[in-house]
């Protein structure tokens, strides 16, 4: 299963449309998770996860940890707010640190980083913006992928102004092609 993660607060928005189009392009079994529905708390930086084997907060992230571990690959999408990812995506990334202390995955080269349970999973990242700044949002998500030692399949930054992204055939075609690349990265015909 390929997991789509959308960090937009608007389900009818451009970011969700891009994530959905990438997922369609995979022609695979998929699941789309909207972070707005999960009520994820902020990482407190307490590092209890290093000693307790998981995050002490029991919220929407608890179920998402399992989905992240179980999926074959991911499509992560964030709108670009103030030149970076949304707070929803940033909280998901911050809280993902607990994955490294659940006792699964390959050992990290840095002992304090625990393990890398998402290592080698293919990931596609997308971001939509009205004006500018999408490069930084993509860079932030790419840093998350790199830290987790996942494989970046590709990325798409789309500046559509105040228009509906679905009206921009070029962006929708690029999103679908990114899904095809994801399918290829998974070795699926």
> What is the Cα–Cα distance from 155 to 189, expressed in whole angstroms?
22
- Local confidence pLDDT in tens for the 189 residues of the chain: 999 999 999 999 999 999 999 999 999 999 999 999 999 999 999 999 999 999 999 999 999 999 999 999 999 999 999 999 999 999 999 999 999 999 999 888 887 888 999 999 999 999 999 888 899 999 999 999 999 999 999 999 999 888 898 998 999 999 999 999 999 999 877
> Residue 22 belongs to what domain range?
2-185
> What is the Cα–Cα distance from 175 to 187, expressed in whole angstroms?
19
pLDDT value of position 187: 87
**DSSP secondary structure string, the chain?**
-EEEEE--S-TTSHHHHHHHHHHHHHTS-EEEEEGGGT-PPPP----HHHHHSS-S--SHHHHHHHHHHH-SEEEEEEE-BTTB--HHHHHHHHHGGGGGGSS-SEEPSSGGG-EETTTT-EEEEEEEESSS-HHHHHHHHHHHHHHTT-EEEEEEEEE-TTS-GGG-HHHHHHHHHHHHHHHHHTT--
- CB of 30 closer than 8 Å to CB of 67: no
As for how many domains the chain has, the answer is 1
Q: State the CATH number of the domain containing residue 180.
A: 3.40.50.360
pLDDT value of position 113: 82
> What is the Cα–Cα distance from 114 to 12, expressed in whole angstroms?
38
Residue among 79, 77, 177, 188 at smallest CA distance from 130: 79
Pairing of strands 106-107, 30-34: unpaired
pLDDT value of position 77: 98
End-to-end CA distance of the chain: 15
pTM of the predicted structure, to 2 decimals: 0.95
């Amino acid at each position: 299963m390929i997991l789509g993660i959308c960090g937009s607060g608007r389900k009818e928005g451009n970011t969700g449309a891009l994530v959905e189009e990438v997922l369609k392009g995979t022609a695979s079994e998929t699941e789309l998770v909207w972070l707005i529905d999960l009520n994820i708390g902020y990482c407190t930086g307490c590092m209890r996860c290093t000693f307790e084997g998981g995050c002490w907060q029991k919220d929407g992230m608890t179920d998402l940890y399992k989905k992240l571990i179980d999926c074959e690959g991911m499509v992560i999408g964030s709108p670009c707010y103030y030149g970076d990812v949304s707070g929803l995506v940033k909280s998901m990334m911050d809280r993902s640190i607990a994955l490294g202390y659940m006792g699964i995955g390959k050992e990290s080269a840095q002992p304090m980083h625990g393990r890398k349970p998402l290592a080698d999973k293919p990931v596609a990242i997308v971001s939509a913006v009205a004006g500018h700044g999408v490069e930084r949002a993509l860079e932030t998500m790419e840093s998350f992928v790199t830290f987790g030692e996942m494989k970046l399949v590709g990325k798409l930054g789309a500046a559509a102004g105040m228009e509906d992204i679905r009206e921009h055939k070029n962006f929708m075609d690029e999103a679908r092609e990114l899904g095809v690349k994801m399918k290829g990265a998974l070795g699926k015909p």
